[in-house]
Amino acid sequence: MTRPTAARAYMLGLAIAAVLLAACKPQAETAKGGNPKPTGGCSLTVEELSKATSLSWELKEKRDDHPLETLESVKASVCLYTAADAPQAGSDPLVLRTDTVGGKDVAAVRQEFTESCTGYDGKVRESAAAAGAVVCDRDGAVVEGLVESVDRLVNVYFVNADETTATKLTKKFDAILTAVR
């Protein structure tokens, strides 16, 4: 099971993730003990994400002013995290991505999220994470959500979660959204 926009963006997302992972060197600062920490602008810390999911995460890539694949006119701060201890199809690590937008782009990303979720038989519902947080529930699995504040929106989603992983992490998705800062 993948994020709600899977029908039109799954393959594109996998290709982009593969390019980002393979072609780019990690842009993370290493903390004491070798654990990567996000550089400025990422909406999740590796530590909080690891705590929320009980997986070992690493920040693999951070890009500012990155055009979104589903809304090319929208530029986002994109952070790509991987968890090697949760291998997916082809033994690829589990990938979680955050897209952070502000200003006029908030409404466009929120609308795309809602249309994409409901257009593929999902249901947008409030998250227990915090005020302004919603998730897309598809067939009892949640692999994508939004955290919105006054001036920004963070879209959080698993890029390549298989059905078993998606089901397992659904129970932890509110904790992931709670960790968004």
pTM over 0.75: yes
Are the beta carbons of 146 and 110 closer than 8 angstroms? yes
Helix/strand number for the chain, H first, E second? 5, 9
Q: With 0-12 CB in 10 A as exposed, 13-18 as middle and 19+ as buried, what is 27?
A: middle
Question: What's the confidence (pLDDT) of residue 41?
Answer: 66
**What is the residue-wise DSSP string for 95-163?**
EEEEEEEETTHHHHHHHHHHHHHHHTT-EEEE-SSSTTEEEEEETTEEEEEEEE-SSEEEEEEESS--H
- Model confidence pLDDT, tens digit, residues 120-150: 999 999 999 878 899 999 999 999 999 999 8
